[in-house]
Amino acid sequence: MDFGFSVATYIVLVLSILYILIILKKWNKDNVKTFPPGPWALPFIGNLHIMDLKKPHCTYIELAKKYGPVFSVQLGTRKIVVLAGYEAVKDALVNNAEEFGGRGKTRILQDMDNDFGVVHSRGENWKVMRRFTLTTLRDFGMGKSSIEEKIIEECSYVIKSFESLKGKPFDNTMMINAAVANIIVSVLLGHRMDYKDLQFKRLITLMHENVRLLGSSMVGIYNIFPFLGFLPGNHKTIRRNAQEIFEFVTKTFIKYLKNLDESDQRSFIDAFLVKQKEEAGNPHSYFHNENLTRLVRNLFSAGMETTSTTLRWGMLLMIKYPAIQEKVQQEISKVVGLAQPTYSHQGQMPYTKAVIHEIQRFADILPLSVPHETTRDVTFRGYFIPKETYIIPLLSSVLWDKTQFEKPDQFYPNHFLDSHGNFIKKDAFMPFSAGRRACAGENLARMELFIFFASLLQKFTFRLPPGFSDSDLMSDVGFTNMPKQQNICAIPRF
């Protein structure tokens, strides 16, 4: 009897459990809000074991093939949602701009900016600083002829530097970084800086090094496991570099404050200091020194790194594809001749414009974008994504989307030309991201790229040094996809 009762009990228990599981499964299917799918996570480390920490976008692209355009990964204990492909990224950043418009929290970036400035801030601070930044940049010539004059002037300096080398091999990293940096420096400080100025060279070196180190494996580990911050590594170098930059900015604006003329504002820093004085009695003002130092660093870095990196890729790609370089030069000669190329010429130069766009697409400068965050609970494409979820809009997958570009894995300027050779816009062209968090300096960057690129190709033909047969198009490790440092030759055309 006891044995029979036990068997019956077990049968009832098993049937009860099965019944409960069926009910739970049905309830989950009908009612539970489903988080995006992803690979199975291990305790403590999550999916860290499958990640390429030096080039995580490569891992995400492979995972998208298996899990679709909206999927999740777990790094440490943090759940991350990745958006892949043009349709998903556009849907999130443009069609659901408010919900996906937050800024993702990354430990090393928080260490540097402490949620101040404009690039990595959030909430009301971000709104106030972005509004002030856009307004002030416009006041100081953004998108106007005055800023174009500064770009043209800077072109003359970098051309002279290239000419002085008389076709000999050189690494163009510092020259191009300095030339592009001087455009935003002239806005921030009210004047350009000499390429040989030791402080200027030091600032450029610090900025460039930080962008490179942000993509290192140790920094990736530190972002996932901040408690390991006591260990030596690149995260400490980044913090030291950032502190040195802040000290320079602080000394600069203290000097400007002593000579501040509210009726004659000559720089971005002047405009901020005037606003700071106006709100001196407001304990809740966002115009304080921490925001100023972070704003200047944000603008200096953003205003230099992506544009200069694009130009460096452009020179390497012209070396790699000499027929394309020659065709660009022919168009410049036909439209501009020996005159100075200006931004207004781009409408008459569809091929050159297409080549610049293809350089941006193919080089894929910012593959992961800057991380986003959901500002509220959102149901997106059938998945429930909670508020404050870390979001990665995978820009690589947009710029290399096979449904949007005919030959995404090739350098192919015809992506931006119709059958008659006219320039055509592509909605999937998102090197500046999209939506609320799109790059604030996009218009300036477009102007810089065209004028610098056309001016340099007008004056020089770019080639490899003697003894080298091919340029290296493998990107270096960094927060951006930057070309490896390598020597090139700028051969004067006239």
pLDDT at residue 11, rounded to an integer: 62
**Does 13 fall in a domain?**
no
One-letter amino acid for residue 143 of the chain: G
pLDDT tens-digit readout, 423-440 = 999 999 999 999 999 888
CA distance 484 to 490: 18
For the record, the structure tokens of 443 come out as 């218009």
Q: Is residue 20 part of a domain?
A: no
What's the pLDDT band for 3 if we cut at 50, 70, 90? very low
The amino acid sitting at 287 is: F
Q: Which domain holds residue 378?
A: 33-492
Give the pLDDT of residue 14: 64
Give the contacts of 369 (CB within 8 A, at least 6 positions apart): 392, 393, 394, 395, 433
Which H or E element spans position 73? strand 70-75
Q: 242 pLDDT exceeds 70?
A: yes
Strand, helix or coil for residue 371: coil
Reduce the DSSP state of residue 435 to 3 states and report it.
helix
pLDDT, average across residues 171-180: 95
> pLDDT higher for 252 or 350?
350
Question: Rounded to 5 degrees, what are φ and ψ at 435?
Answer: 80, -155
Report which secondary-structure segment, H or E, holds 10. Answer: helix 2-30
Show the tokens assigned to 42.
């291990």
pLDDT higher than threshold 70 for residue 325: yes
What local confidence, expressed as pLDDT, does residue 27 receive?
41
DSSP class of 414: G
**Distance separating the N- and C-terminal Cα atoms of the chain:** 107
Q: State the pLDDT at residue 8.
A: 56
Residue 359 · residue 317 · CB < 8 Å: yes
CB neighbourhood size of 240 (10 A): 12
Asked if residue 107 belongs to a domain, the reply is yes
Residue range 102-131: average pLDDT? 93
Mean pLDDT of the chain: 91
Q: 467 pLDDT band (50/70/90 cuts)?
A: confident
Q: Would residue 21 count as lying in a domain?
A: no
Stretch 200-209: mean pLDDT: 93
Position 127 pLDDT exceeds 50 = yes
Structural domains counted in the chain: 1
Closest CA to 82 of 41, 44, 36, 33: 36
pLDDT for the residue numbered 18: 61
Q: Residues 5-49: pLDDT tens digits?
A: 465 565 656 656 665 555 445 444 433 469 999 999 999 999 999
Decide if 351 contacts 302 (C-beta within 8 A).
Answer: no
Alpha helices in 38-144 (DSSP H): 56-67, 86-90, 107-113, 123-139
Model confidence pLDDT, tens digit, residues 253-282: 888 887 888 888 888 999 999 999 999 889
SS (H, E, C) 187-205: HHCCCCCCCCCHHHHHHHH
Q: What is the pLDDT of residue 382?
A: 95
Q: What are phi and psi of 321, to 5 degrees?
A: -125, 75
CATH number at residue 188: 1.10.630.10
pTM of the model: 0.90
**Residue 2's pLDDT band (cuts 50, 70, 90):** very low
**Is 303's pLDDT higher than 90?**
no
Would 434 be classed as within a structural domain? Answer: yes
Spatial CA neighbour of 42 closest among 76, 82, 81? 76
Scan for tokens 């999916």, then name that residue. 47
Residue 7, SS3 per DSSP: helix
C-alpha 156 chain-centroid distance: 27
151 domain-assigned:
yes
Largest CA distance in the chain: 107
Task: Tell which residue, 179, 140, 428, has the closest CA to residue 303.
Answer: 179
User: CA distances (Å), 63 to each of 53, 81, 84, 183, 492, in order?
Assistant: 14, 12, 10, 40, 47
Mean pLDDT of 145-173: 94
Whether residue 319 lies inside any domain: the answer is yes
pLDDT tens profile 54-72: 899 999 999 999 999 999 9
Out of 413-417, 444-448, 475-479, give the one with best mean pLDDT: 413-417
Q: How far apart are CA 224 and CA 48, in angstroms?
A: 9
> Structure tokens of 350?
């569809």
Q: Which residue has the higher pLDDT, 267 or 359?
A: 359
Hunting for tokens 């350009």 — which residue is that?
Answer: 192
Identify the pLDDT of residue 13.
63
Residue 28 placed within a domain: no
378: three-class secondary structure by DSSP: strand
pLDDT of residue 327: 98
- Encoded amino acid at 288, one letter: H
DSSP state of 165: T
* Cα Rg, the chain, nearest whole Å: 26
